[in-house]
Structure 1
Amino acid sequence: MRHSFIVTLAAACAALTALPAFGDDAVPSAERGHVVAVVSGCHDCHSAGYPESGGILDPATALAGSGVGFRGPWGTTYPSNLRLVAAERDEAGFVKHLSTLKTLPPMPYFNLHAMPETDIRSLFLYIRSLGEPGEPAPAYVPPGEEPTTPYIVFAPPTMPAG
């Protein structure tokens, strides 16, 4: 009985060490980058059609940006083509860019600042593995100007005086 417990425990430990590590002690990999992109919600906005598909990823549109904007008091912003962002930088430049990036809503850039560097490096490797960068997302549209693309209104309702 004791022998089978030790064998089972050893097998469980071996299986755990085969899982991708998290945090700064992890080794960067494209596979880990894929996990980071899914769990961090990158595909939710930066991969056209991803939310509508129930999370089924189309490799042709993965992280290639979207033509559907987010309109609010700041104007209309578009999820950028992250393939272009990665193509324009080396790995160190990508880490610096994401670690210091400030954007308009609804992008939660501050979450990127909290991401472990190894995860950012993994995200870079994953994005670079996706293929040709493609075209940029539509340009920012300032407040008061009408976008020429579909958009989602992303602003709180006006509250009645109370």
Structure 2
Amino acid sequence: MRTLFIAVALLSGGISMAEAAEKAPSVEWGRHVSITSGCNDCHTPGYAESGGTLDPKTALTGVAVGFSGPWGTTYAANLRLTVAKMSEDAWVTYGKSFETRPPMPWYNVHEMTDGELRSFYMYVKSLGAPGQPAPQGLPPGETPQTPYIVFAPPQMPQ
């Protein structure tokens, strides 16, 4: 099917060989999507602190540092566990429809193409054992027992 897509795209003059190859879902494209979409910034332990060094052993396993704000406290989920529970088609549907609490920019994920979502799924599946879940989120007013970052809106001058 992929070969047919590339052949039709090239013959129609719609896209170049490089563009056609880029559109085919792959593990490598999924890795690229995970980096350029900022997934590792929050979902990979030590990624931001290391200046972007990606360790495949811990990539997308979730982080036990909470994000606390008026919504309560949220944690960056272990995406390996999330993906492990779904088929590729189910992941694409989920990626186009899920909503969650801040600071996760779920609305950005909705804008990903099916190819980007499929590639991301393939990449996450390639990483290996899912590992342990991130801590459960907390409702407003509960103090986290883990390190956390406070997301407080600034006070506007009166």
Q: What TM-score results when the alignment is normalised by the length of structure 2?
A: 0.86
1:4 maps to none
Q: Structure 1 residue 122 and structure 2 residue 119: aligned?
A: yes
2:145 maps to 148
Structure 2 CA distance, aligned partners of 1:120 and 1:72? 29
Segments of 5+ residues of structure 1 without an aligned counterpart are 1-15
Structure 2 CA distance, aligned partners of 1:143 and 1:75? 4
What amino acid is aligned across from residue 128 of structure 1 in structure 2? K
1:27 maps to 24
Instruction: Decide which structure has the larger Cα Rg and report it.
Output: 1
Matches within 5 A, 1:37-76: 37-76=34-73
**Residues 22-48 of structure 1: per-residue CA shift (max 9 Å, x gap):** 5xxx11100000000000000000001
What amino acid is aligned across from residue 122 of structure 2 in structure 1? L
Segments of 5+ residues of structure 2 without an aligned counterpart are 1-15
Cα displacement (A) at 1:155: 2.0
Output the aligned Cα RMSD: 1.5
Q: Structure 1 residue 100 and structure 2 residue 103: aligned?
A: no
* Compared CA separation, residues 123 and 20, structure 1 to 2 (3 A): farther
Cα displacement (A) at 1:159: 2.2
What amino acid is aligned across from residue 146 of structure 1 in structure 2? T
- Aligned partner of residue 95 in structure 2, secondary structure: helix
Structure 2 CA distance, aligned partners of 1:124 and 1:68? 24
Give the total of aligned pairs. Answer: 143
Q: What TM-score results when the alignment is normalised by the length of structure 1?
A: 0.84
